[in-house]
Structure 1
Amino acid sequence: MRVLLFGATGMVGQGVLRECLLASDVQEVVAVGRTPLTQEHDKLHQVLHTDMLDFQPLENLLQGFDACFFCLGVSSVGMDEAKYTHLTYDLTLVAASTLARLNPQMTFVYVSGAGTDSSETGKVMWARVKGKTENALLRLPFKAVYLFRPGIIQPLHGVRSKTPLYQSVYTLLGPLLTLARRLWPARVVSTEVLGQAMLTVVRQGNAQPVVEQVDINRLANERV
């Protein structure tokens, strides 16, 4: 399969990229982003693009893909709703709408988060915005859309957070997170398991578009 990856420099994106490059049925990964990757691989091609709200210049490069893993995301800390909506809803829908038009056969996988509010009416701002984004994605004419809602994510295999504070916490709590994944698999997931599960839904689908933490673990175990 040919895969498009958005957010490859982020923690989740790094983990998904690793699993894609290891997968024998992935023939090409095209990473689209503002920041160049230091990683090189025969399967990996990079497309640097500064304006993530305008993909018209790239349309000839964004066709013929089987899957898109959309791992872009920002923290809502310190943001008002308008700014967070712009960076979460607007940015995602511009990219997804373009891809749906160019690749109607595509499976689109969006990384959301545990606690996302599908009603769009709850008190938690980030959860409402994520819910609005999820609902809009489901209305696009893709072959399939899957909305992943992981809980706490543990980076593995050299994957690192771009936020120094977060990375310090992950480093400090690494052994505890490993134990927590064993004790509370419904709340903690690794970047490895998340990437494997995302590949599984492209290969074989899933009964429901919303993929909660317990489903992520199950799908990773079902990988071929």
Structure 2
Amino acid sequence: MKLIIVGATGFVGKELLRQSLQRSDITSVVAVSRRALPPGTSAKLRSVIVKDYDQYTEEAKKEFAGANACIWTIAITPSKSSAVPWDEVVRVCQTSALVGLRAIYESGVAKPFRHIYMSGVAAERDQSKTPSFKPKYSLMRGETESQVLAFANEHPGEIEATVAKPGLITEPWNIPKRAFATVLGWTVSLPSIYVGQIATAMLDQVVNGIEKDPLLNVDLVRIADDLARTS
């Protein structure tokens, strides 16, 4: 399998890259980022550095050709969105996701092509609702989910897409963040997941087939735990 990881230098992207390079069933990895990858090479790794995630050169598209799947991790998080102009939040979270998917598809990917858009548990697809948490942001992220899925539906038999909707993503060794996740789970019922778990689950879905949409936090944890038990 040839896999594209968009946002390969981010928190989740780095874990996706680490795990994918260790898997024998993933034979080629195209790591898309705005800055160079950390030192270390692999024969199956190709690095594509873009000016931004809504800008793709012909050279970048050539690297995407023949890919079997993509995991898209790029977004401005809810906690950071208040400090960024709204137009920029939309450009990064929504415009880039659609421009990037279209550019990848038009590069000549394998079919069916599996695509996972990583969103968040609070994103709301129903635009008639008013979410309790950052409503403008949550509706925009939900609208983006719908647009990604609509693009896939416009290409039946060619694109298989789903949305991963994790809660708070943390690390087993980060005790303060784990404690914070526990408090949020008790107080506002916000679920959490380890970064290794979400990476494992999303890689399983692009390699072995997408089981459902959306992939909620509970689904991602279940998939990762099931794989851990059988490994």
2:214 aligned to 194, 207, 210, which one?
210
Structure 2 unpaired stretches of 5+:
none
Quick one: distance in 1 between partners of 2:182 and 2:84?
33
Whole-angstrom CA distance in 2 between matches of 1:216 and 1:39: 30
Letter in 1 for 2:6: F
Name the structure 2 match of 1:50: 51
Residue 92 (structure 1) aligned with residue 97 (structure 2): yes
Letter in 2 for 1:221: D
Match of 1:137 among 120, 132, 148: 148
Matches within 5 A, 1:67-82: 67-75=69-77, 76-82=81-87
SS at match of 2:101: helix
Q: Given residue 32 of structure 1, which amino acid in structure 2 is its aligned partner?
A: V
Residue in 1 that maps onto 2:115: 108
Equivalent residue letter for 2:114? T
RMSD of aligned alpha carbons: 2.7
**2:162–2:213 CA contact under 8 A, matched in 1:** yes
Q: Which runs of 5+ in 1 are unaligned?
A: 158-170
Return the alpha-carbon distance in structure 2 between the equivalents of residues 11 and 201 of structure 1.
19
Alpha-carbon distance in structure 2 between the residues aligned to 1:39 and 1:176: 32
CA spacing shift, 1:213–1:186, aligned 2, 3 Å: farther
1:176 has 2:166 as partner: no
* Match in the other structure for 2:223: 219
Q: Which moved more, 1:85-94 or 1:113-122?
A: 113-122
In the TM superposition, residue 174 of structure 1 has moved relative to its aligned partner by 4.7
Counterpart amino acid of residue 192 in structure 1: G
Higher relative contact order (CA 8 A, sep 6+): 1
Cα contact 1:30–1:47 (8 A) shared by 2: yes
Measured against aligned partners, the alpha-carbon deviations of 1:11-60 in whole angstroms (never above 9, x if no partner) come to 11112112212222111211111111114231322111214323242222
Number of aligned residue pairs: 211
Q: Secondary structure at the match of 2:30?
A: strand
Secondary structure of the residue aligned to 2:35 is: coil
- Tell me the SS of whatever aligns to 2:140: helix
Gap change, CA 1:211 and 1:204, over 3 Å in 2: same
Q: Relative to structure 1, is the Cα distance of residues 97 and 218 closer, same or farther in structure 2, using a 3 angstrom cutoff?
A: same
Q: What's the CA shift string for 1:45-103, capped at 9, x where partnerless?
A: 21112143232422222111111111111132223543321111101100001222332
TM-score, normalised to structure 1's length? 0.83
Indicate the percent of aligned positions where both proteins have the same amino acid.
23
Q: Paired residue for 2:162, among 146, 161, 169? A: 146
TM-score by length of 2: 0.80
CA-to-aligned-CA distance 1:93-127 (integer Å, 9 cap, x gap)? 00001222332421111110011101134431111
| Higher deviation after alignment, 128-137 or 97-106 | 97-106
